[in-house]
Chain A
Amino acid sequence: MTTVSRNETLSISEEIDVVMARNKVRLFAKEAGLGLVDETKLITAASELTRNMLLYANGGTISIEHVSVAETAGVRIRFEDCGPGIVDLALAMTDGYSSNNGLGLGLPGARRLVDEFQINTKKGEGTVIVVTKWKR
């Protein structure tokens, strides 16, 4: 069973909030005892997904929490927005596809950087992405 011991919710509405989100994720990663490489990967994934929220949904909320299963600790982040949703999820998860002139690495890149990645999106209602990184 997964236990949640601490969590924090951040509201994302402007560019500087991406920096705040990164710093908060770093704090949680350090507390959970993630190694430097895993910490960096999680922060980078969080940065990508937070920026996506701003770009495509005008912001949203992020909840960061400490989770543990048996003896393993980890950090879970939930990104929730009320944006337009992702019309073609398969396409959005494809490397190199970008609807915004970016590199198209945001979603597929972020997925590769974490241990668990779940995405739920509904056209016109929004998108929820939950990522988890476990301590090795």
Chain B
Amino acid sequence: MSFERIPILTMGEFLLVTIQGEMHDTLATTLQRELTARVATQGARGVLLDISGLSMVDSFMGRMVSTIASITRMMDAETVVVGMQPAVAITLVEMGLTLPGVLTAMNVERGMELLRGRLGFAREDSNDYGESERDAIDF
């Protein structure tokens, strides 16, 4: 049908996906498949899903985002949704789609900080049992 693809960039131990333009269902499904494959082959620890270029997110796309976050989490990588536009956030909440369990950040930079922070704590966790709980960022 179409050969469009959403590029997946590697940034150290993270993957960055910038979604722009029109998102149709097949593209969303392709992204889900390719992204999870890349997490596995590269052993990525985090995924930044930049949706600042999306002017609309409906329940299908919202579900895709949630699913990506759940799948990557099971593969030991966190997904952070980055840059959701205010009108999109308002619409999603009104629709009843609050993306529970999905990490979010204002922009890619803050998303990276969030991922690094979580990874850092996770690493501390493995050597040091006592203190980590108090410092963990809890969403």
A-side residues, CB < 8 A to B, are 15-16, 18-19, 22-23, 26, 36-37, 39-41, 43-44, 47-48, 51, 95, 102-103, 105-106, 108-110, 112-113
Interface size of B in residues (CB-CB distance below 8 Å): 24
B97-A105 in contact (CB<8A): yes
Could you tell me the distance in whole angstroms from the C-beta of B109 to the nearest C-beta in chain A? 25
- A22 and B56 contact, Cβ closer than 8 Å, known pairs A16-B24, A103-B62: yes
The 8 Å CB contact of A113, one of B86, B88, B95, is: B95
B97-A103 in contact (CB<8A): yes
Report the nearest B residue to A37, measured CB to CB: B87
Q: How far is the CA of A22 from the CA of B1 in the complex (A)?
A: 19
List 8 additional contacts besides A18-B24, A44-B91; criterion CB under 8 Å.
A37-B87, A39-B87, A40-B55, A44-B58, A47-B56, A48-B58, A106-B59, A112-B94
Report chain A residues within 8 Å CB of B63.
102-103
Q: Which secondary structure characterizes the binding site on chain A?
A: helix
- A109 and B22 contact, Cβ closer than 8 Å, known pairs A37-B87, A40-B88: no
Report the nearest B residue to A40, measured CB to CB: B87
Report chain A residues within 8 Å CB of B90.
37, 40-41
Q: How far is the CA of A113 from the CA of B87 in the complex (A)?
A: 12
Interface centre among A95, A105, A113 (most CB of B within 10 A): A105
The 8 Å CB contact of B59, one of A36, A37, A103, is: A103
